[in-house]
Chains A and B, each alone.
Chain A
Amino acid sequence: MLEELYRETILDHGRKPRNSGHLEAATHKADGWNPLCGDQIRLFLIVQDDTITDIKFEGCGCAISQASTSLMTETVKGMKVVDALALFEKFHAMVVDGTVDELDGLECLAGVREFPARIKCATLGWHALRSALAGEEAASTE
């Protein structure tokens, strides 16, 4: 079961998060905060013509939150805002309810659902994404 959680892709993204850094020209941003474990991220987006043209994040946290946020940024970069929000729902359904199994390369995170204490780590970046797109400055997994 542990191997389902810490797959090679996740360990890799956890060690070397993609799209890490700061976006000076961000049109949207949000802080994600998991009060339970203290994981913290700040997400920056540039949205033009309803499309996420650039996305970066900074922060610290466990391998799951870092990898999940890293994978999320790779996936939604270049996506229409509506599609990214739809993906949020699907991702959430996958890790919380286990109702979706195939998901644009994000299925490597499906193992999280067997670890209830870690689900919020996996959804942190996604909550921040949704808050940023909704024009809210902060997201909490509470």
Chain B
Amino acid sequence: MPCKSDERSAWRCEFPILDQEVNGKPLVYLDSAASSQKPRVVLDTMDFYYRMDNANVHRGVHALGQRSTEAYDNARAVVAKHLNAVHTDEIVFTKGCTEAVNLVAASWGQANLKPGDVVLCSMAEHHANLVPWQLAAEKTGATVKPVPIHDDGQLDWDAYLALLNENPVKMVAIKHVCNTLGTVYPVKEVVSEAHRVGALVTVDGAQAVPHRPVDVQDIGADFYILAGHKAFGPMGVGALYGRLPLLRAMPPYQGGGDMIRTVSFDGTTFREPPNRFEAGTPNVAGVVGLAAALEWLASQDFDRIEVHEQDLLASATEALEEIPGVRVLGKSPGKASVISFVTDFAHPHDIATILDSEGVAVRAGHHCCMPLMGRLRVPATVRASFAMYNDNKDKEVLIQAVAKARRIFS
């Protein structure tokens, strides 16, 4: 459904939450990298599920139980198709990206990491794709080593190759798109180099899925993770893609109902993936909402989204840099529409408070990337992240609000 207004983003009217005032000003939501807003179809689908279909899955013989199970299983097929997985069974539902990495690090890590093995994590990694590896390393005697990045956020390719050649690397953990700087990492090349030395790769796709089509077969990823709430779906749900032979060889992550074949005090047997990794009643409404979000996203013209977001990125970056004292970090070519900046007149938290008073929602802080902050030698940044529902009007309010912050603090 096209929007009525020519001045606003063509996608905006599908996101009801955007049409409100905060602090007496129209809301300008520039925090989609922390959590995106949801289109009406996602809200309606989840509402419909709870009003009409709600029942536990994989249990009941009654009609609602069957409808619920059907919706749940269908959602798995939607996610598999969205990522171009070979098999539907390669998709495991989790409560988010964080749980997906914890699952891989605990289950695959426990079965495969040995003392002396090395896990490589880029210095830009979100804590979600770093800390679980540190925990796994602690348990198994493996070591986690950082892969350095350049000042603009890009991977230090020579250092990466050297690390691969000089260490017994078993796993590489890397983001597809950086939540702090927007950097797009060459994950396909990262995977092919890792595979050359026999290492696997866990790609954190949290920030990629909302901005671009993803093809896990083309990337060659062994594991690929996403979060519903970053991709216009609900919170509390995410997905792990894992190549089927890998998932089949992995031990359970959590125990409980639904993941077992037979249970007795003499010994319990487990189901095949993905069920083996989905203990207990899942977040069915969340999963159904996630599928609705991905179907909605797949029905959009990604080329148009890309042009729209890149226009906003370029003009917002330029306008911010015209404000004296503002420094935009990590301007690598081809990056996604995420802008991190610092200023010489105010701390990021003070700027975020001023922006909020103008109705502008941004994030200030370390963005769960403390090693990256250390690498960039800043304690924190202000991050404005643009989704397809943002537009020039949002950008202009942002720029005026940053200029106001400068007037207050200088």
Chain A interface residues (CB < 8 Å from chain B): 1-2, 5-6, 11, 14-15, 36-40, 60-64, 115, 117-118, 121
Contact = CB atoms under 8 A, between A and B. Distances in A.
Contact of B365 (A2, A36, A60): A36
B380 interface: yes
Given A5-B353, A37-B364, 6 more contacts: A1-B357, A2-B353, A2-B357, A37-B348, A61-B379, A118-B349
Contact of B354 (A2, A15, A37, A64): A2
B353 A115 contact: yes
Interface string B129-168: 0000000000000000000000000000000000000000
A38 B408 contact: no
B48 interface: no
Contacts of B357: 1-2
A22 to B, nearest CB: 19
Contact of A38 (B23, B346, B380): B380
B321 to A, nearest CB: 23
A37 B373 CA distance: 12
B85 to A, nearest CB: 37
B366 interface: yes
A32 B350 CA distance: 19
A63 B409 contact: yes
Interface string B341-361: 000001111100110010000
26 contacts: A1-B23, A1-B357, A2-B354, A2-B357, A11-B408, A11-B409, A14-B350, A36-B365, A37-B364, A38-B379, A38-B380, A39-B349, A60-B379, A61-B347, A61-B349, A61-B379, A62-B347, A62-B349, A62-B350, A63-B346, A63-B347, A64-B349, A64-B350, A115-B353, A117-B353, A121-B349
Contacts of A36: 365
Nearest to B408: A6
Given A1-B357, A63-B409, A37 B350 contact: no
Contacts of B380: 37-38
A115 to B, nearest CB: 6
Contacts of B408: 6, 11
Contacts of A64: 349-350
Contacts of A40: 379
Nearest to A59: B379
B354 A38 contact: no
Interface string B365-386: 1100000010000011000000
B353 A118 contact: yes
A114 B346 CA distance: 20
A15 B345 CA distance: 9
A2 B408 CA distance: 10
A122 B347 CA distance: 14
A133 B354 CA distance: 35
Contacts of B365: 36-38
A3 to B, nearest CB: 9
A11 B348 CA distance: 15
A61 B366 CA distance: 12
Contacts of B346: 62-63
A106 B380 CA distance: 27
A9 to B, nearest CB: 14
Contacts of A62: 346-350
What are the 6 tightest A-B residue pairs by CB atom distance, in nearest-first order?
A62-B347, A62-B349, A2-B357, A63-B350, A38-B379, A38-B380
Nearest to B404: A2
Given A60-B379, A63-B409, A37 B349 contact: yes
Nearest to B349: A62
Contacts of A118: 349, 353
Nearest to B380: A38
